[in-house]
A = this chain, B = another copy of it.
Amino acid sequence: MDTGDRLLTPGEVAALFRVDPKTVTRWAAAGRIGSIRTPGGHRRFRESEVRALLEGEGMLEEGEEMGKSRNMGPTASTGPGPANAGMY
C-alpha cells in the first residue's frame, strides 16, 4: 500500500467532502483530522488520511431488502472509528 503522503490543500479536502474549506479548517482545529502547517500558517492534509475518512463508513454493508427484521446488533464500528466527541 502506498502511504501516499501527498499533501492536499483545504480546498481539495473540502471538494472531496463537499463542504466549505473553512469547515476543513475547523476539523483540523478540533483535532478530527491531522494537519501540517506551513511556516506561513496555512494547513495541509495527508491524502491517505482523507481517503481513510471518506471510505471509513461509506460503502460497507449494502445488503438489505431481506425481511424487515430489526436487527439490534451491536454497533459494528468497522474500521478506524474516530472518537466521536459530539454525542449528547
Contacts and interface: CB of A to CB of B under 8 A. Distances in A.
B54 A77 contact: no
- Range of interface residues on A (Cβ < 8 Å): 35 or more
B65 A81 contact: yes
Oligomeric state, in number of copies?
Answer: 2
Interface of A: 6-9, 17-19, 23, 27, 30-41, 44, 53-54, 56-59, 61-68, 72, 74, 76-79, 81-82, 84-86
26 contacts: A9-B18, A17-B36, A17-B38, A17-B44, A27-B39, A27-B40, A33-B39, A34-B58, A34-B62, A35-B58, A36-B57, A37-B58, A39-B53, A39-B82, A41-B86, A59-B86, A62-B84, A64-B82, A65-B77, A65-B79, A65-B81, A65-B82, A67-B74, A67-B76, A68-B76, A68-B78
